[in-house]
């Protein structure tokens, strides 16, 4: 009997406890790091679909079905044991830092929602929900709440962002932009030129040669920042994928630029402090234009929603499908009526465009160009068939804003402040000089050309920020008549930013970087 008991103890002692099995399973999962070939970071951009088998195969090899069930049981047992009160207390393990897919998704979506809620405050309106979501994601990642290199970030870059781009650009009718934006379109074009000039000034003062610490990535990150300062974070992501920017430089550029953008938005609101709001007759004219169908209903609704801090009433939905253009919001976190039929139809069209763009990029042998091709297809479709897409625009833009808020939080979570301080602090100076030169050139040249300060500040906001920031600024300052034109020109920035950034980088910055010479020697 004693011998049998001892033999039983020997057999049980040789087996792993559930806790030990769980530990081994976690250790095996930590070794899984899907990489995107050239980029060397978790699959980012739709072009990564070409490497999908390589990304998922290690996961299948490292987690055999026969062992995953036992590991799951071990994980459950370990969780129960850890949650048991050791000394009369109660603990919830794994909440901070967040662990597992749902923890990461909860953090990213909460950061995105926080950005929209912040627009109910004065500071949040000035910074915009997009920037607040980015800063919130950055804070979560740099304080250790979000794990580094979480695979969920690659899901956002690879699927969520491409799906959001067509939804965002359904209203990008180039013909309508030329008709309705007026003088603001000229100011925006001047702002894009000032952005290119600002990049060249920053390069002259802080060149990023190939022989420097960033190597070939120096001119590439400068190109990506130029694209971002004409369109937005979408364009930064597109250029980063096209030029295969390494992950550490990608994150360093984001961190540097996000922090400088906070100072930039504070500055332009200070410069606009003495500009009066629209007169009552201007607001009345805007309402008349809405009734006549020449301006989308989003303008007064978004203005009321943003300036009062309350959503637009359901009886006057922002960007209702009855308006001619359906230009919709983007701005101020205003409520957008998302209907099931139109919303699902918009998502279906967006998915088809993403598939077509990804296949076209693969056929051309340039999978990293997928976002660029997706953008071109959507703008061409919106220009060729604006009436066909008009009923879908309100739902599409509402869904796009939700997805983009998650994307902004993910952009922040990818920004490593400590990394930029250790590896490339020059990016702080480069971004600051580029934005300062942009603003100085725009205000100086714009005044000579007869533009008002209001037009120039809105154009700068449309360049550097995007539709949400320019609409939020116009509504917060009471410039109701400028909301829709601001949205339209900033949407044009999404369409053009990637091409301008790529063109500047490959035609000028790359040769100068490889020659190791400043601008004057080019």
Give the per-residue pLDDT at 110. 96
Give the per-residue pLDDT at 336. 59
- CA 373 to chain CA centroid, Å, is 18
DSSP 9-39: HHHHHTSPPHHHHHHHHHHHHHT-----TTT
Task: Return the DSSP state at 51.
Answer: G
pLDDT tens across the length of the chain (522 residues): 444 444 444 444 444 444 444 444 444 444 444 444 344 444 444 444 444 333 333 333 434 444 443 444 444 444 433 433 343 333 345 556 777 899 999 999 999 999 999 988 888 887 888 889 989 999 998 888 988 788 899 899 889 989 998 998 898 888 888 888 889 999 999 999 999 999 999 999 988 887 777 888 999 999 999 999 999 888 999 999 999 998 888 888 988 998 899 899 989 999 998 999 987 534 444 443 443 344 444 433 333 333 333 333 333 333 333 333 333 334 444 455 789 999 999 999 999 999 999 999 899 888 877 888 898 899 899 999 999 999 999 999 899 989 999 998 998 888 878 877 876 788 999 999 999 999 999 999 999 999 999 999 999 999 998 887 888 888 888 898 888 899 889 888 988 999 999 999 999 999 988 886 554 433
Q: In this structure, what token pair is assigned to residue 452?
A: 């008002």
220-249 residues labelled b (16+ CB within 10 A) or e (exposed): bbbbbbbbbbbbbbbbbbbbbbbbbbbbbb
Query: Distance between CA atoms of 318 and 300, rounded to whole angstroms?
Result: 8
Q: What torsion, rounded to 10 degrees, do the Cα atoms 117, 290, 169, 508 define?
A: -100
Task: Return the DSSP state at 324.
Answer: S
Give the per-residue pLDDT at 124. 85
Q: In this structure, what token pair is assigned to residue 208?
A: 């990023």
Give the per-residue pLDDT at 73. 41
Q: In this structure, what token pair is assigned to residue 375?
A: 């953008």
Distances (CA, A) of 284 to 113, 472, 479: 33, 20, 12
């Amino acid at each position: 009997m004693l011998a049998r008991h001892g033999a039983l103890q020997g057999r049980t002692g040789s087996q792993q406890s559930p806790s030990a099995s769980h530990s081994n399973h976690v250790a095996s999962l930590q070794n899984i790091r899907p990489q995107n070939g050239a980029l060397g970071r978790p699959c980012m951009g739709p072009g990564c679909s070409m490497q999908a088998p390589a990304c998922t195969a290690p996961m299948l090899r490292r987690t055999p079905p026969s062992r995953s069930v036992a590991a799951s049981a071990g994980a459950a047992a370990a969780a129960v044991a850890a949650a048991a009160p050791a000394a009369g207390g109660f603990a919830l393990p794994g909440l901070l830092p967040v662990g597992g897919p749902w923890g990461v998704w909860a953090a990213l979506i909460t950061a995105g929602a926080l950005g929209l809620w912040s627009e109910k405050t004065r500071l949040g309106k000035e910074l915009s929900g997009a920037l607040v979501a980015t800063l919130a994601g950055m804070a979560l990642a740099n304080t250790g709440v979000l794990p580094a290199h979480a695979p969920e970030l690659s899901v956002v870059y690879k699927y969520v962002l491409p799906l959001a781009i067509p939804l965002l650009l359904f209203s990008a009718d180039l013909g309508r932009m030329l008709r309705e934006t007026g003088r603001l379109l000229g100011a925006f074009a001047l702002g894009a030129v000032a952005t290119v000039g600002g990049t060249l000034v920053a390069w002259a003062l802080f060149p990023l040669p190939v022989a420097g610490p960033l190597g070939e990535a120096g001119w590439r990150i400068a190109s990506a920042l130029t694209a971002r300062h004409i369109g937005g974070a979408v364009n930064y992501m597109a250029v980063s994928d096209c030029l295969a920017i390494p992950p550490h430089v990608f994150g360093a550029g984001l961190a540097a630029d996000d922090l400088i953008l906070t100072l930039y938005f504070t500055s332009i609101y200070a410069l606009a402090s003495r500009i009066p709001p629209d007169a009552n007759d201007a607001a009345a004219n805007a309402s008349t234009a809405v009734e006549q169908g020449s301006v989308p209903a989003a303008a007064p609704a978004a203005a009321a929603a943003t300036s009062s801090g309350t959503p637009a009433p359901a009886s006057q939905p922002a960007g209702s499908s009855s308006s001619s253009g359906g230009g919709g919001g983007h701005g101020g976190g205003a409520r957008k009526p998302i209907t099931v039929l139109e919303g699902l139809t918009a998502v279906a069209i967006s998915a088809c465009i993403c598939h077509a763009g990804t296949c076209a990029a693969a056929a051309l042998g340039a999978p990293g160009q997928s976002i660029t091709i997706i953008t071109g297809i959507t703008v061409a479709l919106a220009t060729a068939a604006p009436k066909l897409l008009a009923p879908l625009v309100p739902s599409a833009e509402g869904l796009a804003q939700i997805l983009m808020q998650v994307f902004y939080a993910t952009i922040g979570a990818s920004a490593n402040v400590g990394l930029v301080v250790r590896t490339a602090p020059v990016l702080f100076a480069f971004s600051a000089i580029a934005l300062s030169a942009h603003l100085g050139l725009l205000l100086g040249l714009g005044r000579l050309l007869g533009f008002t300060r209001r037009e120039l500040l809105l154009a700068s906001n449309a360049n550097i920020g995007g539709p949400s920031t320019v609409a939020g600024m116009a509504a917060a300052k009471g410039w109701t008549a400028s909301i829709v034109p601001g949205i339209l020109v900033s949407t044009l920035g999404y369409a053009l930013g990637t091409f301008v950034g790529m063109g500047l980088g490959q035609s000028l910055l790359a040769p100068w970087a490889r020659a190791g010479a400043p601008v004057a020697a080019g």
